[in-house]
Amino acid sequence: MRPEMTAIAPGTLPKASPRGSAARARMLRGLLPALSLALVLIAIAWLNPRAISYFGFNLMLNLAIPIALATIAQMFVIAGNELDLSIGTFVGFVGCVTATWLRDAPLIGILVLIGSIGVYALLGALIHLRNLPSIVVTLGMSFVWQGLAILILPKPGGKAPDWLLSIMSFKPPYVPFPILAALLIAAVVHFGLMRTSYGVILRGSGGNAAALRRAGWSLLKTKIVLFALTGLFGVLSGMALIGITTSADANIGNGYTLLSIAGVILGGGEFVGGRVSPIGAVIGALTLALAASPLLTFMHIPPDWQVAANGAILIIVLAARVLISRRER
């Protein structure tokens, strides 16, 4: 008889089923983002206890909100087995629009931003219909966004709209605003993607597209929705960034492309298979934001070496994940 088939005969199943251990390994992996965040926080607390305060968090996590939003944006395309290499320059483009038109001519500004989300939706349709590699298309688009940003704002400047400035400088009691915002983003996206019935379809399109097609769902629509959501969160990220920095620069978001990809992966997502986690992605973004400069500054690592040290942290966390995934098998 076939051994692996007899193994599933009900009743003959030993209690320590492979399913149990797979679930355990998955839980461990789900905890890994939180664990790495805790580790970074402990390190910061140890190096500089005063940083763990209302004021300290406000300062350290200042840039975490736009990074978290960009990471969520990236997560949507990754959920559909695609990759967006243009999110960084797109955030920069949105920043330039926010600091100029959105302040001076709000109607045009709003139309441009909505239009840019529409462009993202069209990209999704193009990638699906022509079966193009998203990496190539979005790499091309990254130069388009960059060029547009430079056209709008040839040299650094502009100013964020006042309402945006006041939102981003909101100081709630007890809990620092960036933490509150992170919780809100994670909760909203988790509900939308992980709990709603259409969220299941969106994730399923990354897990087994053929199965979805056979069940009668439109893959064109899922791809368009995923890309439009990426555009939407890219817009939110760019606006949040300008709300913090108050003025814009065409190159302001360039680092976000790789940061957002790293955030998704750090948060337990995978490049293919529709396995993503919004909560993990936000935690991943926070970890990156903290590890990016506060931690390294406290460690007295000179700025010249910070980027390399950042990469080293990424490699360590991802290596830990690989080890856990291997146990899963």
Partner 1 sequence: MLQAIADIVRLNGAEKHFGAVRALNGVDFHVGAGECVGLVGHNGAGKSTLMHMVAGTLRPDGGQIAVRGNQEASYSVARALELGIRCVFQELSLCPNLNVAENTRINHPSLTGFGWRRRAADLIRAKLDEIFPGHGISADDIAGDLSIGRRQMVEVARAFTLTREPLHLVILDEPTSSLDAHTAGQLLSFVRRFVAAGGSCILISHVLGEVLQNADRIVVMRDGKVVAADAASAFDRDRLVAAMGGAEGHQKAAAEARKAEGGALRVRARPVRQQDDKELVARAGEIIGLAGLAGHGQTDLLLAIFSAASRARTGIEVAAPVALVAGDRQSDGIFSQWSIAQNIGIRSLTRLRNGLLISPQREAELAEFWKKKIGIRTPDMNNNIYSLSGGNQQKALFARALGSDAEIVLMDDPMRGVDIGTKLEVYDLVREEAAKGRTFLWYTTETEELDNCDHVYVFKNGRIVADLGRDELTEEKIIQSSFGDAA
Round to whole Å and give the CA distance between 233 and 253.
Answer: 14
Give bridge partners of residue 62 from the DSSP assignment.
none
203 interacts with partner 1 by CB under 8 A: yes
Angle at 217 between CA 212 and CA 218, to 5 degrees: 115
One of 38, 108, 183, 200 touching partner 1 (CB under 8 A):
200
22 interacts with partner 1 by CB under 8 A: yes
Q: Shortest gap between Cβ of 11 and partner 1 (angstroms)? A: 6
Q: Shortest gap between Cβ of 196 and partner 1 (angstroms)? A: 8
Structure tokens at 39: 């580790």
Contacts of 50 (CB under 8 A, 6+ apart): 56
326 interacts with partner 1 by CB under 8 A: no
5 interacts with partner 1 by CB under 8 A: yes
Binding flags for partner 1, 97-136, as an x/- string (CB under 8 A): ----------------------------------------
Q: Which stretch binds partner 1 (CB under 8 A): 20-28, 258-266, 278-286, 301-309?
A: 20-28
Give bridge partners of residue 157 from the DSSP assignment.
248
Round to whole Å and give the CA distance between 122 and 119.
Answer: 5
Q: Which stretch binds partner 1 (CB under 8 A): 16-24, 106-114, 121-129, 139-147?
A: 16-24
16 interacts with partner 1 by CB under 8 A: no
Q: Shortest gap between Cβ of 211 and partner 1 (angstroms)? A: 4
Q: What count of other Cβ atoms lies within 10 Å of the Cβ of residue 256?
A: 27
Round to whole Å and give the CA distance between 309 and 307.
Answer: 5
Q: Find the binding residues for partner 1 in span 208-267 (CB under 8 A).
A: 208, 210-217
Phi and psi for 175 in degrees, rounded to 5? -100, 125
One of 122, 207, 258, 271 touching partner 1 (CB under 8 A):
207
Question: Is there a contact between 252 and 245 (Cβ–Cβ < 8 Å)?
Answer: yes
DSSP 158-223: ----HHHHHHHT---SSS-HHHHHHHHHHHHHIIIIIISHHHHHHHHHHH-HHHHHHTT--HHHHH
> Quick one: 8 or 322, whose CB is closer to partner 1?
8
> Quick one: 41 or 229, whose CB is closer to partner 1?
229
One of 174, 197, 303, 322 touching partner 1 (CB under 8 A):
197
Q: Shortest gap between Cβ of 7 and partner 1 (angstroms)? A: 7
> Quick one: 144 or 201, whose CB is closer to partner 1?
201
Angle at 33 between CA 325 and CA 294, to 5 degrees: 135
Give bridge partners of residue 248 from the DSSP assignment.
157
Applying CB under 8 A, which residues contact partner 1?
1-11, 13, 18-19, 22-23, 26, 195, 197-198, 200-201, 203-204, 206-208, 210-217, 273-275
